[in-house]
Structure 1
Amino acid sequence: MIHPPVTAITARRPDGDLSRAPFSRRWRCAVLLLLGFVLIAPAAPAGATDNGPSTAWTAALIAVPPVGGRRLPIFGRWRDSFVQRAVQEMPETVRLPAVLFMHGCDGIGGEEEAARILFMEWGYATFIPDSFARAGRRSNCATADFATSRAPESHDYRLQELAYGIQALHSLSWIDHDRIFAYGFSEGGMAVARYEGNGLSGRVITGWHCRGIGPYDGIGAPRDTPLLAILGDRDPWYAAKPGEHCGQVFDGRADAESIILPGNGHAILNSPDLANAERARKAIRTFLDGH
């Protein structure tokens, strides 16, 4: 599938919009019940003592759609005992596509939670490693004034966590190993763009322009890896580089698309501009379902 290097999204509402199809009442109730259960369910030991990427993985938020006769989704953290019981009981015939979501510089927030529920609704097992579960982990940004580079070591942390997550997903028998996607938002998007390894069916880069300084300029993915990049043209984090976007460094990749959301800020899936959020969601689902 060949995409143009840059796609500018106009203000026209697309047909067949997917983002306004909310959970059914039953699904909403199920998620609320599960969220309540997460608060009281006992957690299994994290199983990681080295404070490395395995710590972020065991603390990962997950969402798995109901399959194999289950009536409810699996919704919690990977380390939770009820989550472990549920995945161990997964029928041998189940093979789910998966999204490994790398969160932004200030941790798991609205964008990440929106993705977890949305991707689960689309039929994807979703995993969000929690980088801030690692002891002493500093934030690389200050959201109050859009300051960055406060903890440069965070970039190495994120690459470690991405590599670890890919390996972990490939070890799960109920995951479709031919349909594992990496999705990054903001700082997580930097990691997804920079990661040079394999094991992925595609990558989605959001809230990052791929035009940083030195090693942060460009895309490290193998040239045959499908890419989708989405950025708002009013993103306050990148005001110093207006007009820059990942499509400028695709370098002739055959299966790559860069979408610029007009008038949009930093949030993509959870954008307050509902028209832009809808367009982003439709593009992301088309990308995931098509690879």
Structure 2
Amino acid sequence: MRGWALVLAVAMTLGTGAAARADEVQRTWDAAWVFVPAEGAAGYARRRVAELAAHLAENPPRALVVYAHGCDGLSEISAATGRFLAQAGVLMVAPDSFARQDKPVSCDPRIPRGGLHRAVLGWRQDEMRFAADRLRALAPDLPLILMGQSEGGITTATLPDIGADARVIEGWTCHAGWPEYRGLKARQGQPVLSLVGEEDPWFRLPVLHGDCGAFMQGPTQRSIVYRAPSHLAGKHWLSADRGVQRTILDFIDAIPTDRGHRHGDNQDD
């Protein structure tokens, strides 16, 4: 009897832990920043995730972006990204990782230094996957793009295939000492755009040198490295630049709009 009691206690503990983790991820979705295309001088509007279903039914955008913020949370970088995407007709949802009740610090942006919470990558992947699932359920026929900057870029690069139509990786090299942080998990043929400055101060360690192009396959996957004398060579936030914004929007424009064609589905099956 004692053995069965122990098994039951462990099972209950594991179940409670799983429920707690699900609640934490739900919080990141509930607190997400949402930017939608809108008429008027601004060209965008802010919404809550609770308003997404009604908004998408009445005002379908050209595409959907799930955006993963950097290690210091939602910021002006996130807001500026949401604005330029929405002004171009793309809806962006950015889950708030810091809405979790338990959120260890994973970086010190003043130095800059990352890698303070190795397990954060799995947490961020859960957040992105959860948001993508919600958006796909609300608008199954729209292109869905994964996009992230810095720690969010790592998340975008390493998330296993979830059926998204493309990935945009900003401020990451795809090179790391920790194996789960290294490489690119995009399926073959999935459009990928990666953007990095060759002299980005976050990637001074030799193990971080390089770019995501080392892991790419085929013409739909492109790595852009900004080198001196470009003013972007030493930048970490690249999409503040209007030229980089144009590059991202051109990439989104080139994503096939037919879902069956994008995923290579056999329409005769």
Short-chain TM bin: 0.7 to 0.9
The corresponding residue for 1:190 is: 154
1:168 is paired with a residue whose SS is: helix
CA contact (8 A) 2:62 2:142 kept: no
Q: Greater shift after overlay, 147-156 or 128-137?
A: 147-156
Q: How does 1:7-46 map to 2 (within 5 A)?
A: none
Q: 96, 107, 118: which is aligned to 1:152?
A: 118
> How far did 1:94 drift?
3.5
Aligned partner letter, 2:187:
P
> How far did 1:240 drift?
1.5
Give the RMSD, CA atoms, in angstroms: 2.4
2:219 is paired with a residue whose SS is: coil
The corresponding residue for 1:224 is: 189
CA contact (8 A) 1:95 1:176 kept: no
Q: 60, 64, 67: which is aligned to 2:32?
A: 60
CA contact (8 A) 1:98 1:176 kept: no
**Alpha-carbon displacement from aligned partner over 1:133-167 (angstroms, at most 9, x marks no partner):** 01121221001112222112211111101111110
CA contact (8 A) 2:175 2:209 kept: no
- Say yes or no: does 1:125 pair with 2:91: yes
- Say yes or no: does 1:267 pair with 2:233: no
> How far did 1:93 drift?
7.6
CA contact (8 A) 1:193 1:210 kept: yes
**Alpha-carbon displacement from aligned partner over 1:192-233 (angstroms, at most 9, x marks no partner):** 101112321110000000011212221011112110000011
Q: How does 1:110-121 map to 2 (within 5 A)?
A: 110-121=76-87
> How far did 1:130 drift?
0.4
Aligned partner letter, 1:267:
W
Aligned partner letter, 2:26:
S
The corresponding residue for 2:100 is: 134
The corresponding residue for 1:234 is: 199
Bigger-Rg structure (1/2): 2
Query: Take 2:86 and 2:242, find their aligned partners in 1: how far apart are those partners?
Result: 17
Q: Which structure is richer in relative contact order (CA contacts within 8 A, separation 6 or more)?
A: 1
- Say yes or no: does 1:249 pair with 2:215: yes
CA contact (8 A) 1:97 1:176 kept: no
TM-score for both structures, normalised by structure 1: 0.72
**Alpha-carbon displacement from aligned partner over 1:83-134 (angstroms, at most 9, x marks no partner):** x2x7426545835411111000110112111101000000011100000001
Distance 1:161 1:91, change over 3 A: closer
**Structure 2 spans left out of the alignment, 5+ residues:** 1-19, 228-232, 256-269
1:190 is paired with a residue whose SS is: helix
Query: Take 1:92 and 1:111, find their aligned partners in 2: how far apart are those partners?
Result: 28
2:23 is paired with a residue whose SS is: coil
The corresponding residue for 1:97 is: 63
2:143 is paired with a residue whose SS is: strand
CA contact (8 A) 2:196 2:236 kept: yes
Q: Taking every aligned residue pair, what percent have the same amino acid on both sides?
A: 25
> How far did 1:289 drift?
1.0
The corresponding residue for 1:282 is: 246
**Alpha-carbon displacement from aligned partner over 1:16-39 (angstroms, at most 9, x marks no partner):** xxxxxxxxxxxxxxxxxxxxxxxx
Distance 1:55 1:278, change over 3 A: same
